[in-house]
Amino acid sequence: MNREDNKNNQYTLKEALKAMIEQYKLKGKLNQNRIQSTWAKLMGPTISGYTREIKIYRKKLYISIDSAPLRQELTYGKEKIKRMLNEELGEAYIEDVIIR
């Protein structure tokens, strides 16, 4: 292998990590962890305190809330939640928000 062949096969670390994430289908789990870690910051301590579970499955975000009145109120703001979280992820990844 000569030096020029090596130059053509070089990737930035960002490109290599992105390729690995896509190859091993880790994007959903990575996004789920990012959302879980920023949920309290985005939604505040009250909503975060009533949140039992946050999961992503097939680009749908499932949020389990312990309080029925809060669950009802959050249902009205599903589009805003989706928009805020997609902004945090830096892409339009979440297609729907299901609050249960």
**Counting beta carbons within 10 angstroms of the beta carbon of residue 64, is it exposed (0 to 12), middle (13 to 18) or buried (19 or more)?**
middle
28-54 pLDDT, tens digit each: 888 889 999 999 999 999 999 999 999
The pLDDT value recorded for residue 41 is 92
* Residue 58 Rama label (left phi>0; alpha psi -120 to 50; beta): left
Section 83-96 average pLDDT: 93
**pTM for the whole structure:** 0.78
The pLDDT value recorded for residue 1 is 45
pLDDT above 70 for 98? yes
The pLDDT value recorded for residue 7 is 58
Q: Report the mean per-residue pLDDT for the chain.
A: 88
Q: Output the six-digit token pair for 22.
A: 């896509």
Q: With pLDDT > 70 as the criterion, what percentage of the chain qualifies?
A: 92
Strand partners for 99:
63
